[in-house]
Amino acid sequence: MRRILLLLDNKANRQLLSDWLKQYYEVVYPEEASPLSIPFDLCLIDGPMLDRLDEAIRLRKAEEGSAFLPVILISSHRETELLTRHLWKTIDELIQAPIEKLELRARVEMLLRTRHLSLDLRARNEDLESFFYAMTHDVRAPLRAIKGFSQYLQEESERLSPQGQHDLAQIQAVAEQMQEIIDGVIEFARVERDGRAMQPVALDDVLERCLQRLQSEIQRCHASVICRETLPVVRGNVLLLTAALTNLLTNALKFVQPGVAPMITLRAVKSHFVCRLEIEDNGIGIALEDQKRLFRPFVQLHGVDVYEGVGLGLATVRKAVELMGGRVGIISQPGQGSLFWLELRVAE
């Protein structure tokens, strides 16, 4: 589809431009009630229409998700100075009148090509996502069967030899580990799927949600989680922030010396337009040479016989924070605990 929506206030200019564009593209005009409801691949708009429809255009572009929906502003030099508040939040390209037809067509062609590439990429990603969830469903089915049969054998374990009981325990442990891997991979994939819309998010609310989710684990290991100040509101995504903070708190609860009660302190530091959230623990600490690869998928610094896990928690944190346009890092020394930090923009 190579459909161009014309949103020009001047009807004479709109007709002249339409007659020329129809040689190469399908041209459509806005409907009175909802001018942006018509499917289109590129929009040509002038200053007066942009003033009236700026918010509607932003919403329409947001509806496209990961697909690129280009908008070209046609304006005089004087109008451009008046419309700078729209650039580059709404407008993707600017052409000043009088229009050079060759230049206009070249820019339209480049933007349409980008549009079609983004649509193709989105379709491929959707196919991959469908395949991924179908695959994980197919893997879970035999895993459920293994766990079911092993549970049945566990109920009849007195009839097994000591070696049989040992082998059964090994089967159950491997099945649980496989379940953790599948759940971790699904959570890692879900982060990008759910991380689309950004909005003001109260960190206090996210922290409360995470603590409720981890309440049983906190009680089991007699942990202390301290936050002595009100956390700010940041620009982010609730699901992404919840995933990131839950994984950081889970690691702080897990990676401590045997017999040590975890102590976790949260604080926020605001600097200009950035909020830095710090999560400090009294855990085992991490060597400097290991910190460089810590946020990669499937990195495990310790064997599963020492600390359980599949090495996707911190990779999920990094992915979630980067999708929100932020940064994440660590300050740590072995035996002296760790301070994980993440930086996000403060909500306007």
Q: How confident is the model at residue 298 (pLDDT cuts 50, 70, 90)?
A: low
Q: Average the pLDDT over 266-288 and give the result.
A: 90
Q: pLDDT tens across 113-131, in order?
A: 999 999 998 888 777 777 7
Residue 42 pLDDT > 90, yes or no? yes
- Per-position b or e across 166-194, b if 16+ CB within 10 A of its CB: eebeebbeebeebbebbebbeebbbbbeb
Q: Average the pLDDT over 48-55 and give the result.
A: 88
Residue 194 pLDDT > 70, yes or no? no
Task: Give me the residue label for tokens 């409360």.
Answer: 208
pLDDT of residue 282: 94
**DSSP string for residues in 205-245:** HHHHHHHHHTHHHHHHTT-EEE--S---EEEE-HHHHHHHH
CB contact at 8 A, 75 and 96? yes
Q: How confident is the model at residue 94 (pLDDT cuts 50, 70, 90)?
A: confident
More confident residue, 129 or 303: 129
- CATH topology for 195-348 is Heat Shock Protein 90 (3.30.565)
CB contact at 8 A, 214 and 250? yes
Residue 62 pLDDT > 70, yes or no? yes
Q: CA–CA separation, 211 vs 250, rounded Å?
A: 10
Residue 92 pLDDT > 60, yes or no? yes
Indicate the average pLDDT of the chain: 84
Task: Give me the residue label for tokens 């009294």.
Answer: 282
- Token pair recorded at residue 267: 């604080």
- CATH topology for 3-99 is Rossmann fold (3.40.50)
Number of H helices and E strands in the chain, helices first, is: 10, 12
pLDDT of residue 276: 94
| Three-state SS at 277 | strand
Q: pLDDT tens across 222-242, in order?
A: 999 999 888 999 998 888 898
Q: How confident is the model at residue 72 (pLDDT cuts 50, 70, 90)?
A: very high
Share of the chain above pLDDT 70, in %: 88
pLDDT of residue 201: 92
Q: Average the pLDDT over 4-22 and give the result.
A: 90
Q: Average the pLDDT over 30-35 and give the result.
A: 80
**Which of 3-7, 9-13, 197-201, 286-290 has maximum average pLDDT?**
3-7
pLDDT of residue 341: 94
pLDDT of residue 252: 92
- Per-position b or e across 149-162, b if 16+ CB within 10 A of its CB: ebeebeeeeeeeee
- Per-position b or e across 212-245, b if 16+ CB within 10 A of its CB: eebeeebeeeebebebeeebbbbbbbebbbbbbb
Q: CA–CA separation, 101 vs 293, rounded Å?
A: 52
Q: Average the pLDDT over 173-196 and give the result.
A: 70
Residue 3 pLDDT > 90, yes or no? yes
Is this structure's pTM higher than 0.75?
A: no
Domain locations along the chain = 3-99, 195-348
